[in-house]
Each structure stands twice: as C-alpha cells, then as structure tokens.
Structure 1
Amino acid sequence: MLLSKVTRSQNAITSTLLKRTVVIELFIPGNLLGNETLNLLLFNDGQDAIALGIEDTLNALNEKNKLEPLVVVAIHASENRVQEYGIAGIPDFLGRGSMASLYQDFVMTELLPYLQEQIGMPFNGKKGFAGCSLGGISAFDIAWNNSSYFDLTGVFSGAFWWRDKDLKDGYTDNDRILHRMIRESEGKPELKFWLMTGTEDETADRNHNRIIDSIDDTIDVIKELLKKGYERPEDITYYEMVGGKHDVLTWSKVLPAFLCWAFGRKSYL
C-alpha cells in the first residue's frame, strides 16, 4: 500500500513528573486502514522538527514506498534540556542530567500511554528512539533501559563525551558515563544501534591522536557494544559523514538513511 502524505499536528501533554507542559509534534501517515503493522519513532529535540525536515523526508520516502507505516513523535525539549537529557541516575561532573530519570519515566508512563490513546491503533511493529547530540545519548539510555519496549536507537553526533570527571581533574576515558553504563550493565538488551558522526563535528582531540573526540567516543561505544556480544553489521550500523558538522543541516541530510535502515521496506533494506 502506498501511503499518502503525513498529517502533522502539535499536541501538549501536562506532565506530573516533569511539572511542565510537554509539546509534541505527531507525524502520522495518511490513509491508514487500521490493520497495518504500525511502527513508532520517538525523536528528542522535537523543536527542531522543521529544520530536520522530518515531514518532508517522511513524505518523500513514503512517495517512493520506501518506508513501512511509521508514526514519528518529536518531543520538544524545555529550558531544562541539559537536566532532563543525559544518563538516568548519573549526573555529569557539573550536575547536569539530574532529571534524566524523571524524563525517562515521563516517556514510559505518561507519553506512551497518551500516544496509544491518540493514535487509536496498536504500535505492533518496530519501536525506536532517536536524537541528536545530548538528545542522542538520552535516546540511547532510555532505549537501553527499556529494551522490552524499544527495538532500536539512532544517535546523530551523540554527546558520548558525557563524563563525571572534568578534564582538569584527572579525567580518563573510564569517566565517560555511557561507556561505563554499557560495560557494567547486566545482560545484553535486545536492541539494534545506528550511530552517526560527522568528520567536522568538532575540533577537540583529547588524546592528540588526530581523530576528533566525537568519532573516538562513538567508535569506543561500538567497541563496548561488541564486547557485550553485539555484532556488525547485524546489530550495529556506523555512518560517518565526510564534511558533516554538529548541526541540524547535517543531521537532516542523513535522516533518510537512518529511517530506511530502521523502518525501510524489505526491498529497500
């Protein structure tokens, strides 16, 4: 079935947990019959949905019949973004990420039931969580901790440097919070991972190996996942964009590749 153009709507949820109104944008494919296998993608930093080109990208891919039926939910961040995003229960060295556990609980206990009621159809296909930069490690963390619900995560230029010790205080790579979380987690969550960097994400090079930190940190995440028993390319896809920068324009350019990887029709995988 060829899907018609997506319907975009903006909704607001009053969150008891976050003590604020959370704005979300829903992108729902047209002419659903109600008997489809329906997929779901949550996307952090939903205030960038227009700049990311989510609606246009979905329409272009659906017009070419490249995607399975997919609902995208873009969750707007608040002024407390650096507190709500991060790794649940482990603030960074400046105390940022202190509300990450509350944000995770909001997603699982307030947002998802709301979405189920609004859509009126079961999300019986694949379910993913994606984000860019700090929103990316938030998406990774929530998917990792709730793998009984989520099937995949996509991280664009992830802030995998997130650490609990400052560089000037004797930092080592063991102080990176997400890498340690993977290493110390019991078991192996049933997830698939799409990790992206740009060769011009930044200029920082902590270890002076002539590879920027964002690439080093992402490759090290992959190494930790491989140690857990995940395999490439079955479980992990790494996308390095030559000339890619740490900006929405870059992420918009790679969005089609991610969506086709995550929710592409079998003939396009």
Structure 2
Amino acid sequence: MIRGLLCVALSLILVTRASTASAASIVTEWLDQALPYAQEVAWEPTVGSRFFAILQTAIYDTWTAYDPIAVGVVSGTALKGQGGAENEANKREAISHAAFTVLRTFAPQHRRALIERMEELGYDPNAHTPPAEIGRRAAEAVLADCRDDGASEASNFADTTGYQPRTSGPPDAWRPIESFGRRQLPTTPQWSRVMPFSLARADEFRPIPPPAPGSAEWSRQIDVLIKTSGALTDTEKAEAEYWGIFGMAPAPELIEMTKFVSDTNDLRLDDDVKL
C-alpha cells in the first residue's frame, strides 16, 4: 500500500515537472540562467534590483519591436518593424540575443557558459539576422541608458557620497555592528542619487520619517513591536521566515515568485514579457 502511494506520488512529481518544463517560455529560461549570476555579482538588494531591471527592460524593449502597440522603455518606437516577421521564432531569437548581451556585460566571467547556452538554443552569438540585431540594439541601448545612472557601476558600485555611519548620538540612524569579527559596511549609500527605473522620481512613494527618538510616538511604536513579536503564532512566525527561503536578495526572490506565477498560469512568451 505504502509502496503504491509512493509510486503514485513520484509519478505526479514527474508529470508536474514535465508540464512545468514544457510551459516555460524563453523569458523564464533566461531568468533561470540569470539567477545564479545575480547571486554572484549582484547580491546586494540595490544592485540586484538594478541587475534584473536592466535585463527585463532589455527583453521588454526587444519584444516591443514585434508588438503593434507596446512602446519600448528606452527605445520607444525606434525598433518597430526591423526585427523580421512577427512570429514566435523571431521573438525567441531576439530576446535571447538581448539577454545574452546584458548577461555577458554583467557576468563576463561566465562568457563561455553563456555562449554554450546560446548554442544549445540553436543561436549563433555573433549572428547578424534581423532578430539578433534587434536584440543586441535593444540591450545595448538599455545598458547605455543606465551606465551613468548614479549607481557607480564603473567603480563596482562603490560609494560616491563619502557617507560615514554614526557611532554615537540619538538612535535614529543605522549603526554598524561587529558581525563574525568584522565591522559591517553600508550597502550602496549613493542609491538615493540613482536614476529610478520605474518610479517617476526617487521619493515618489517614500514614507514619512520615523518619529523622533524619545518622543511619545517613538515609545509607542517600540511597545507595539515588542508586544507583537512576543505574541506571534507559529503560523505568523512561518510567514516571517518565508521571506528568507531563497537565502538571497529581494529581487531574485521576486523573480522566483514571478516564475511561479508564470508556471501556475501556463503563460507563454508574450504574457511572460509583460509579467
């Protein structure tokens, strides 16, 4: 009986994996390729979000060349009608060249693996077909647009503000602590100066500042936090721990969730690009 149930369970797992694999579009395939690179070269939450924003914008702008309505984020309508016929094969090829171009730029140490991936997909990385040219042009335009966006990419995202954390004074700012025998360092303090890639301006949805240290509201919020933390149910604790499940920055976690939504809804290329 138990052996039979195990066989049924194993069969269901294999069927599920097979259906998921067959449902994947070229968009989610390139996300799978990009995720380990992001964890390696863009693990900080800020740099990681930029990494995926540039990759996905390049893919989106490439796709807009084949869509009668969509307008590229960077390219506008400049690529319209230049990528060959509007069909699945051309879109796949163009998107692959766009993703390849971005990832080769951000993770040059994986150039050989990226070339092999392109060849596995049936594409020549140096091809000059209309779809290949469109993908490269879209990616290069997005990369150029973000190159001087204030992130300090050329200096490996080093701080450009001269920021120094406080070591004393009111407890209303971040302070480094000793972690594993080393003093913590701030993550990209210059990010407030980075050109937004989806907001109209950097402070568009910025919340109001926290209450002043020692104020009545400051004390009230601390009291709420302590009482709430002390009364968490097992379910609520599990919900909190969920956010560390992938062990990486928020951007890769959101990409994993995006892939899940894509698989669950059996999305194809066009909808995956828009998602």
State the TM-score, normalizing by the size of structure 1. 0.26
Give the TM-score taking structure 2 as reference length: 0.26
Structure whose residues are more often strand by fraction: 1
Q: Which has the higher contact order (CA 8 A, sep 6+)?
A: 2
**Which structure shows the higher helix fraction?**
2
